[in-house]
């Protein structure tokens, strides 16, 4: 069992290396934006709208599904912005 440890570690490192590429937002695609826990829904929607995003759905008070406009940029205060299609994983369709 001990001999499998290096192979398992290498596999895990490979997955971690691919994760940023898989979740990077594609131009023109919907994204999930995660805001800090203290952010309310109104503040998150406002920050997204000011950055040029159309809020589609508030999944949680600090997690929004956003659709870009032509002038969209990263929402101020967002901790994480990932491609919505890549973030869904094995669950049903988000967008």
pLDDT, tens digit, for every residue of 51-63? Answer: 999 888 888 888 8
Instruction: Quote the CA–CA distance of 14 and 8 in Å, as a whole number.
Output: 10
Q: What is the dihedral of CA 54, 60, 63, 67, to 10 degrees?
A: -20
Give the residue from 86, 38, 82 showing the smallest Cα distance to 64. Answer: 82
pLDDT tens string 6-49: 888 888 888 877 766 666 777 788 888 989 988 888 899 999 99
pLDDT of residue 50: 92
pLDDT of residue 21: 65
pLDDT of residue 71: 83
Tell me the average pLDDT across 73-86. 84
Angle, vertex CA 32, rays to CA 81 and CA 36, nearest 5: 65
Q: What percent of the chain has pLDDT over 70?
A: 83
pLDDT of residue 89: 55
């Amino acid at each position: 069992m001990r001999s499998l440890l290096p192979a398992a570690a290498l596999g895990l490192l490979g997955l971690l290396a691919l994760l940023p590429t898989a979740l990077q937002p594609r131009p023109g695609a919907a994204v999930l934006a995660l805001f800090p826990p203290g952010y309310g829904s109104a503040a998150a929607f406002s920050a997204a709208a000011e950055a040029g995003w159309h809020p589609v759905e508030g999944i949680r008070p600090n997690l929004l599904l956003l659709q870009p406009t032509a002038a969209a940029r990263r929402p101020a205060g967002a901790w994480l912005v990932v491609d919505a299609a890549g973030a869904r994983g094995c669950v049903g369709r988000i967008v």
